[in-house]
Amino acid sequence: MEWLELTRASADSIRANKLRSGLTTLGVVIGVASVILLVSIGEGMRNYLADIFAGMGSNLLFVSSGKRDTRGAGKGLSTVRKITLEDAQALRQRSLNVVAVAPIVMGGGTVEHGSLSRESLVMGVDENMPLVRTLPLGSGRFISAEDEDGKRRVAVIGRKVARELFGERSVLGLPIKIADARFRIIGIMAPKGQSLGYDFDEMVYIPVSCALDLFNLEGLTSVWIKAGNQTNLQPAIDDVRRILKNRHNNREDFTVVSQADLLETVNQITATMTLVLLGIASISLLVGGIGIMNIMLVSVRERTREIGVRKALGARRRDILLQFLIESVMVSLMGGLVGLALGSLIALGVHAAVPDIPVKITPWSLFVAFGFSMAVGVFFGVAPAQKAAALDPIESLRYE
């Protein structure tokens, strides 16, 4: 019997039981939808990270005080010595394996000009910052060594901050209030956008020594270090450990994280998420498959007479087997298509609701949807189809 006819016979039977077939596909719908979600979020995440890390050198190290593993759980040392500007200075001077060391203080505060104000991230930096990360300047100049040494109250502001407080006018030299202290604007950053969870356009940069005073801090938030060797960071890491330990009474009360470590952490998170979604997907595909098997067994029973008639007229086992197998695959494929649509919609919806979650719908989602539902249809359709194929013609014709 030809495929076209087989497909037609199967489509016929599905059409005759629309509601039942529809409900049967639900499991597959959910299964495929979660696979699609999984793929699109996973893919989106990968792209997002690739973008972020492409924007930074691969030879960055981050040092922060307190000992913890890369997953961020503090081990709670009793006395933690903060990392200081002097520590950063020491690293810069004593290691041959680092090319740039940028001390960082992170804080938040209200920035004001006239009657306008907004909350903003304030980053204390010195002239080494642009050596570690490329932060293109829009106009004016960046924080210099003299600014830092002289604790000058100068600020470089992000594009968004500039626009919101000053509109389109030229702001260089204008006064700005940061956390109730008066600063003078010396530069505006070029638009940069989000990266590593920060929106750099909302950032305000001031000299790191000013930031320590302003936020009343004993130590730096972190130190960003650029290693000399692009591919092997270990010598730089070893240097940093040795120098800092030396200065911290031989205690390792700080953490050195490389970009590779960060990447590793993020990968672990994505992998966990993937596993969870994969679990949901496989459970619902299993449930969906069992649903299909169940409904096909019912269908075989209901159509015993039909099978008897077909066999009496010359249908062989294979003909009946294929007819029912195609039916289960079609039911499953329908579920797959609906799941594909649903999964894509949810993915887009999630992205619309929470723009931080990146989503990318790839064309091979289509293959995944087809592949999975096809496999489910075949796998769970075989047993009922075999049952149908093995029916005895006489007994089937006699079946009431």
For position 386 contacting other proteins by CB under 8 A, the verdict is: no
Q: Does the protein bind other proteins through residue 19 (CB under 8 A)? A: no
Among 190, 269, 271, 394, binds other proteins (CB under 8 A): 394
Please pick, from the candidates 10, 310, 324, 376, the single residue that binds other proteins as defined by CB under 8 A: 310
20 interacts with other proteins by CB under 8 A: no
Q: Of 56, 309, 346, 374, which lies in the binding site for other proteins, with binding defined by CB under 8 A?
A: 309
Sign of CA dihedral 63, 241, 236, 75: negative
Q: Which member of 46, 160, 317, 360 binds other proteins (CB under 8 A)?
A: 317
| 159 is a site residue for other proteins (CB under 8 A) | no
CB of 298 to other proteins, least distance (A): 17
Smallest separation (angstroms) from other proteins to the CB of 387: 14
Binding mask of the shown chain, residues 169 to 198, with x at each position contacting other proteins by CB under 8 A:
------------------------------
Least CB distance from residue 21 to other proteins, whole Å?
14
CB 120, CB 109: distance < 8 Å:
yes
Contact range with other proteins by CB under 8 A, out of 153-161, 237-245, 349-357, 386-394: 386-394
1 scored as a contact of other proteins (CB under 8 A): yes
Tell whether residue 11 is a contact of other proteins (CB under 8 A): no
Contacts of 100 (CB under 8 A, 6+ apart): 92, 128, 131, 132, 225, 226
Instruction: For residue 308, state whether it binds other proteins (rule: CB under 8 A).
Output: yes
301 binds other proteins, rule: CB under 8 A: no
12 is a site residue for other proteins (CB under 8 A): yes
Residue 75 or 318: the one with the smaller Cβ distance to other proteins is: 318
Q: Minimal distance in Å, beta carbon 315 to other proteins?
A: 5
Out of 204, 315, 322, 385, name the contact with other proteins by CB under 8 A.
315
Q: Binding of other proteins at residue 397 (CB under 8 A)? A: yes
Question: Given the rule CB under 8 A, which residues bind other proteins?
Answer: 1-2, 4-5, 12-13, 16, 305-306, 308-319, 392-394, 397
